[in-house]
Structure 1
């Protein structure tokens, strides 16, 4: 990636972040404005409340207490009066106009509380509600979760809120929980610490969030987990599912950002999985991943919306054999190409060595001729000098003979 592309990518990322921040800021301002406006609705008074209460006998002495309140879609904006009715067991105030619910912490006898479809932004600090089994808070504006001391709680629904993070202690005291629904929030990551104490959890719904990463040890936390839903998040890389829960039978991870079909290998340790939903990801070989999954996880009974048939298994077998044959052919071609390249490199090396040797011989021969040429000249000069000496001696002898004759 070039520097320019990196810069452009960073600028786009910054722009997206700014737009996101602007949207969040605008949303917060809108919420603040809504808070400041006069809320329409009714305040729960004894006159309104008492006709809606159910009365049940509680003992042989015919004593009684109010145990049930159901006032859904009644435009209630304030239910503070309920602090005076701590013996209520069943409370349903769904689809009203409630924003603050401090009185909920006083419902220490409650077994069932349904407050879905209100405008609650914050939950109070709770004291123990020992018998609470179901708590429905879906479709509110809750951003954070306090510690929930509900030892008997079986189902907690916090879907369609504004939750971004979960504190490590939030669920530590709901050890009996079987179903945790966090669908449609703003959660960006999940860690084992967030879910401490949930060893009995069977269903975990985290779909429609903004999760990008998964703690590799996450599933080891849930020894009894049966269903995990991670649909519609932003997961691109899958962590190895080491130490998977032995009872996990359904995994939903569709409509994420997985692009590499090799990521499917991380599902292999899920030996008891029967249903895997993976559609809607960005794998280029979208038509192939089903066949790959059937081969690597032959125990699967359902992939996406379709049952795995014997015909599917046969198609998978043929597909994998074809892929192996193609891979072997590709390997042979690559090996032949590698050898050919090595041979060419060896031939080039030899040719280069031969040229270098020829060049050395040529230079050697040229160097020898230059050395012999001066030697011949010296010998020739010596010969001429010797001939001159002999001629001079002959002349001297001739002169001496001439003098003797005289």
Structure 2
């Protein structure tokens, strides 16, 4: 099995992928369970929304000895928690050589789940390259501006409402800001990001989201937002796009994503794939649990000729007859459909259907609202239809059958000799020989 096939098998599994990611030449290892870095299949997260409840800070506050008071309305009153040197000391790790003085310093800080509201002192640690501040109550991260060598910043489960609260960090490669209060994907400076995770916010559009700001972006995570369209997306370097659990009605907006290999768009309300672009490198498409009803819509996936894995289960079209063959006919290089391997026999049959339609031998897909896709006729069906047509030719103009010939009632009588006496006699001869 090739490396590519092994990777596809991992993508198909239902286990959470957790990958180690190497940054910079000193091989800084990030080993956190981070979806954006792992690039895991969104099929592996069927219960993601239920499993990832918003952090409320209660356990962290009590763990650090804070007494929670109640407001007049009964809600909890959270105290201000400022980061101090003792908290920093307990979270520092990974000694590495600095990039400017070539001395040694801590390169990583873990400040997760401390109920922090203010982190100004952290900006003094300019040699940090990976910072995790997830699970706090921080509204702004501008105090991290002095960290010019920062490569990875994780700020999941905080209270940031705008990406403008992230300072310009020229070498930042991975930013994860899941479950904040973001309403827009705009606000970042032009950057060096390769991975951006903005899932489970309130982002409603991507206008604009382009290569002027993200010239190196390869992985974009936007699951669980309020996106209704991908218009405005213009990032040619993008390789993996995760837009599951939004409100997308179509997939317009992908035309410029010419390097895209993986598209995850399950759990939307997609009902049409018209204008689906030609993406030569696209190999994996997940459209599970959408509203696709007709083969005349799914066939637009064939515009991208190298799709190897397609997941369309959970759509009404998956319940139609000939579903498997129609998917293969539209995507002749498929290896997996709905997590099931495509056999060589299936592949040959699907390609024959596609070839027959291209040559005009077979009818095109026709499953509009009042006409479902007709099944491909077998040779026996074709012969039976010809016999029915011949019988129709013998009917009278008023639709009544012709009068019976007395000779036909005598079954023991020899059939009449072959004659060229006209079409009616030819019909009688053919019936008798049958």
Task: Tell me, yes or no, whether TM beats 0.5.
Answer: yes
Q: In the TM superposition, what are the counterparts of 1:362-373 in structure 2 within 5 Å?
A: none
Instruction: Confirm or deny: 8 A CA contact 2:172 2:192 kept in the other structure.
Output: yes
Cα distance between partner residues in 1 of 2:388 and 2:117: 73
Change (3 A) 1:50 1:208: same
Cα distance between partner residues in 2 of 1:179 and 1:278: 22
The range that moved more, 302-311 or 279-288, is 279-288
* Number of the residue aligned with 2:233: 195
Deviations 1:87-118 (A, max 9, x none): 43211112223233333455433111011233
Cα distance between partner residues in 2 of 1:157 and 1:82: 23
Q: Does 1:135 align with 2:175?
A: yes
The answer to which structure has the higher helix fraction is: 1
Instruction: Confirm or deny: 8 A CA contact 2:246 2:268 kept in the other structure.
Output: yes
SS of equivalent to 1:164: coil
Change (3 A) 1:293 1:240: same
Following TM superposition, by how much is the alpha carbon of 1:331 offset from its aligned partner in structure 2, in angstroms?
Answer: 9.3
Following TM superposition, by how much is the alpha carbon of 1:174 offset from its aligned partner in structure 2, in angstroms?
Answer: 1.4
Deviations 1:109-129 (A, max 9, x none): 311101123333233255532
Change (3 A) 1:128 1:170: farther
Q: Structure 2: where are the runs of 5+ without partners?
A: 1-71, 355-361, 363-373, 400-434
* Number of the residue aligned with 2:77: 38
Q: Aligned-pair RMSD on alpha carbons? A: 3.8
Q: Does 1:213 align with 2:250?
A: yes
Cα distance between partner residues in 1 of 2:265 and 2:100: 51
Following TM superposition, by how much is the alpha carbon of 1:77 offset from its aligned partner in structure 2, in angstroms?
Answer: 2.6
Following TM superposition, by how much is the alpha carbon of 1:212 offset from its aligned partner in structure 2, in angstroms?
Answer: 1.2
Deviations 1:59-87 (A, max 9, x none): 79775555321122222232233334444
* Number of the residue aligned with 1:48: 87
Q: In the TM superposition, what are the counterparts of 1:1-400 in structure 2 within 5 Å?
A: 38-40=77-79, 42-54=81-93, 56-58=96-98, 63=103, 67-105=107-145, 107-124=147-164, 128-169=168-209, 172-191=212-231, 194-196=232-234, 198-215=235-252, 218-242=253-277, 244-283=278-317, 285-313=319-347, 323-325=375-377
Change (3 A) 1:53 1:319: closer
Following TM superposition, by how much is the alpha carbon of 1:155 offset from its aligned partner in structure 2, in angstroms?
Answer: 0.6
Deviations 1:282-337 (A, max 9, x none): 2274353112112332211011111101343467589999923279799989999x
Instruction: Confirm or deny: 8 A CA contact 1:113 1:136 kept in the other structure.
Output: yes
SS of equivalent to 1:96: coil
Pick the structure with greater CA Rg.
1
Change (3 A) 1:323 1:113: same
Change (3 A) 1:185 1:307: same
Instruction: Confirm or deny: 8 A CA contact 1:137 1:159 kept in the other structure.
Output: yes
Following TM superposition, by how much is the alpha carbon of 1:131 offset from its aligned partner in structure 2, in angstroms?
Answer: 0.9
Report the number of matched residues: 306
Change (3 A) 1:184 1:60: closer
Instruction: Confirm or deny: 8 A CA contact 2:284 2:307 kept in the other structure.
Output: yes
Change (3 A) 1:125 1:267: same
Change (3 A) 1:127 1:59: closer
Q: Structure 1: where are the runs of 5+ without partners?
A: 1-32, 346-406
SS of equivalent to 2:122: helix
Cα distance between partner residues in 1 of 2:387 and 2:319: 23
Cα distance between partner residues in 2 of 1:150 and 1:52: 30
